[in-house]
Amino acid sequence: MIVTSFPDGTVIYGNRALSDVSGVPLEDVVGNRTPDFYADPADRAALMAELDKRERVTNREVLLRRADGATYWALLSVVKIDFGDQPAIISAFHDLTERKQLEERLRVLALYDPLTGLANRSLFFDLLRHEIARADRDRDYRFGVLYLDLDGFKLVNDRWGHDVGDVFLVTIADRLRACLRAIDTAARMGGDEFTVVLSGVKDAQEAAAVAQRVAMAVREPIHHGDLVLQPAVSIGIVIGDAGRADPEELVRSADAAMYRAKQGADHDRIAIAVSTAPTGA
């Protein structure tokens, strides 16, 4: 908490918690002009302008800056008062760092696969709907959807256990992520199935080139202790453009192409097939 004279901003009082949170010693605060705790000076100006119109501003989230330059979120309430014989402002800050960290953890749990760190099914479909909407706005825009299945993954789990299976999946996810552009998104749909949204591809040939690059990366042996695991993958591709209104149907088409690829795979299990997406109603 901090009390400042109004309107000159001289600090009349500050409690120990203010010093602990801000990193500014109280002796450097009291009796001097209010330190600029705000990360964005515009926030302070907006707050003072609002106080000119009314007596209090409560429960405002603001980004503040500590003495060492680190920023943190705080819940701020500011009230005009009479402090002794002079008008003043009392400001109370509540550090929101732990709450923001919890909110971020919950956000990650809601949108990302906890094992691989890839987007989860929910986020994948949100991004796919975004691509469909973009294609509807731009009739020349196309995007690709890849559907990947790791052939023989069940054998890895059954023979060496889920811990090894998890290492296998995380390694594949890292390789998949490394093959993509920053604008593309890989997701884990569950088990050993992954999907990719390829933003702004020209045609099926470009998407197939990405799929081939992914397949070559995925099939590299995985070394884990004394084990050498040999991954294999089948990949289905579907190209979306204007009129592809149903994201679930796009994924089903890519999934069907993946199964056709699996059935026609060669002995190295690099299998890729392209499906023609049905046009939405």
Q: Are β-strands 143-150 and 233-240 bridged in parallel, bridged antiparallel, or unpaired?
A: antiparallel
Is residue 277 scored above 50 in pLDDT?
Answer: no
Query: CB-hemisphere CA count at 13 Å for 16?
Result: 0
According to the model, what pLDDT value does residue 131 have? 94
What are the residue ranges spanned by the domains of the chain?
2-100, 112-276
Residue whose token pair is 């997406």: 277
Separation of alpha carbons 158 and 130, rounded Å? 38
Q: Is the pLDDT of residue 2 over 60?
A: yes
Q: What is the 3-state secondary structure (H, E, C) of 24-64?
A: CCHHHCCCCECCCCECCHHHHHHHHHHHHHCCEEEEEEEEE
Segment 209-233 shows an average pLDDT of 92
Lowest average pLDDT, out of 77-91, 148-162, 179-193, 214-228, goes to: 77-91
* Cis peptide preceding 7, ω within 30 of 0: yes
Architecture of 2-100 per CATH?
A: 2-Layer Sandwich (3.30)
Point out the catalytic residue in the list 192, 246, 255, 266. Answer: 192
Query: Do the bridges between strand 227-229 and strand 222-224 make them parallel or antiparallel, or are there none, so unpaired?
Result: antiparallel
Look up 192 and say whether it is catalytic. Answer: yes
Q: How far, rounded to the nearest angstrom, does the alpha carbon of residue 180 sit from its chain's CA centroid?
A: 16
Q: Higher pLDDT residue, 245 or 170?
A: 170
Task: Identify the band that residue 281 occupies on the pLDDT scale cut at 50, 70 and 90.
Answer: very low
Residues 148, 258: contact at Cβ < 8 Å?
A: yes
In this prediction, residue 160 carries a pLDDT of 92
Q: Give percent of the chain above pLDDT 90.
A: 43
* Greater pLDDT, 5 or 279: 5
- Which pLDDT belongs to residue 266? 47
Which of the four pLDDT bands, split at 50, 70 and 90, describes residue 273? low
The pLDDT tens digits for 124-162 are 999 999 999 999 999 899 999 999 999 889 899 899 999
The amino acid present at 259, given as its one-letter code, is Y
Residue 110 banded pLDDT, cuts 50, 70, 90:
confident
CATH superfamily ID and name for 112-276: Reverse transcriptase/Diguanylate cyclase domain (3.30.70.270)
pLDDT(274) > 70:
no
Task: Look at residue 280 in the predicted model and tell me its pLDDT.
Answer: 42
Tell me: the pLDDT tens digits for 25-73? 877 778 777 767 888 888 888 888 888 788 888 888 888 888 888 888 9
Flag whether pLDDT at 269 surpasses 70. Answer: no
Reported as a pLDDT band with limits 50, 70 and 90, residue 166 is very high
The CA radius of gyration of the chain, in Å to the nearest whole number, is 28
